[in-house]
Amino acid sequence: MKKLYSLLISVLLACLLVAAPQCKAPAAPQGQEQTSADPSEDVSEEPSAEPSSEPSEEPSQEPSEEPSVEPSEEPAPVEESIVAGHFEKDLGDGKVAKGFYYIVDMSDERLCFNAISVKPVARLTDIFTHYVDAGVKPYILINAGYFGGTVSVSPIVHNGVMMTSGADGQGKYDGYYLSRAAFGMTKDRQFQSCWVYPCQDDPYGGLYAFPEPIPNDDRTDTYVTAPPTTQTEGAVRWDVEEAIGAGPMLLKDGEDVSIESYHKEVHAIGGRAGYNRHPRSAIGATADNKVIFLVVDGRGAGGSAGATIPEMAVYMKELGAEHAINLDGGGSAGMVGPEGTFVDTPSELPGRRVASVFMITDKDVKRNY
């Protein structure tokens, strides 16, 4: 009986063990890391609940494009600042005057304006070649002041230095005290046409500008017997970087002053050639500081009859000049363009040798010819 009772107790215990739920592993004590029961299983690190102080950079879904770089705008060619042209005027009786000109926008700082004393005298085409060989690019050359033999009788200023006063030791021109027209550029690249004289009482020998010519008049044989000085009314030291004198003044402040200037500057002392048609050249500037170079062929060269002094004033005004002066003419008149050849037809070929030129180049010419 005792055996049967023990057997029943054993069976009952066995049944209870089978029906009981399985037990979980005990929790790890606080502060200890729970490890996986299976050593083959990787333990993944839980992300921190705190956001990172550095913002995470999300990779772009599309490949990033390089910012498009616009090509820098190329500056306009320097030649666009130089306008070339020509005209033909019907003079009647089957005659014409043929003119050739350049208008140069000197706001283009790639262009340099030079007043050159040429020693020894040389032809324009040879002067062009000389500067090319020296590494300078000339764009325009035009004959400038008056000369006798090989010596300039007109004032020349280059790089702020007076190369020649254009007068003898007493400050006279052809035995007379004269103020004649000159064209020049100041340090700030402004252009002026003035009546000038090398006042002898200036210890530095500078040129002085006057509001009007010294009151000579070759129509009445009236001549000033004393030279102007730095104290003469209206005298102002002419501070220019580049300048050459010639004359007469053609236009001043937009007004045609050619006839009065012709006589007061005493250009007719040997005759009245200014009223006859000849090859002529001139230089001037517009109200907005563009420089105008003009040559009119004459004496039949290129089929042109030439121009008078008053006609040159008209032509320069038509081209837009606000102020302008006449340059040496006749066989000296000529102009060479960017190719190094004459744009006009000089009356003396291959061109007369001259003592001074105005020149547009690609760089400042620090020395004279």
pLDDT digits (tens, 9 = 90+) for 226-236: 999 999 999 99
Helical (H) or strand (E) element with 323: strand 321-326
Q: Name, in order, each residue with C-beta under 8 angstroms of 331's C-beta and a sequence gap of 6 or more.
A: 279, 346, 347, 348, 352
Report yes or no: 206 and 199 within 8 Å, Cβ to Cβ.
Answer: yes
DSSP letters for 174-202? TTB---EEEEEE-TTS-EEEEEEE--TT-
Torsion angle in degrees (nearest 10) through CA of 322, 302, 151, 244: 10
Report yes or no: 344 and 302 within 8 Å, Cβ to Cβ.
Answer: yes
Q: What is the pLDDT of residue 30?
A: 42
Nearest to 184 by CA among 245, 235, 265: 245
Q: What is the DSSP letter of 305?
A: -
pTM metric for this prediction: 0.80
Using 50 as the pLDDT threshold, list the residues of the chain that sit under it. Answer: 1-5, 7-9, 11-57, 59, 63
Q: What is the pLDDT of residue 85?
A: 98
Q: What is the pLDDT of residue 176?
A: 82
The CA-atom distances, in angstroms, between 65 and each of 58, 60, 68, 69 are 16, 11, 8, 12
Q: Rounded to the nearest 5°, which phi and psi values hold at 321?
A: -70, 140
Task: Give the 3-state DSSP-derived string for 251-297, with helices as H, strands as E and coil as C.
Answer: EECCEECHHHHHHHCCCCCCCCHHHCCECEEEEEEECCCEEEEEEEC
- Per the DSSP assignment, residues forming a β-bridge with 325 are 249, 283
Report yes or no: 104 and 78 within 8 Å, Cβ to Cβ.
Answer: no
How far is Cα of residue 144 from the mean position of the Cα atoms in its chain? 21
Q: What is the DSSP letter of 200?
A: T
Nearest to 252 by CA among 304, 203, 183, 307: 183
Which pair of structure tokens corresponds to residue 14?
A: 């066995």
Q: What is the pLDDT of residue 175?
A: 78
For CA atoms 103, 109, 111, 115, give the dihedral sign.
positive
Q: Where are the alpha helices (DSSP H) in the chain?
A: 2-19, 124-133, 258-264, 309-318
Q: What is the pLDDT of residue 70?
A: 59
Q: What is the pLDDT of residue 73?
A: 75
Report yes or no: 276 and 213 within 8 Å, Cβ to Cβ.
Answer: no
Q: Rounded to the nearest 5°, which phi and psi values hold at 147?
A: -150, 155
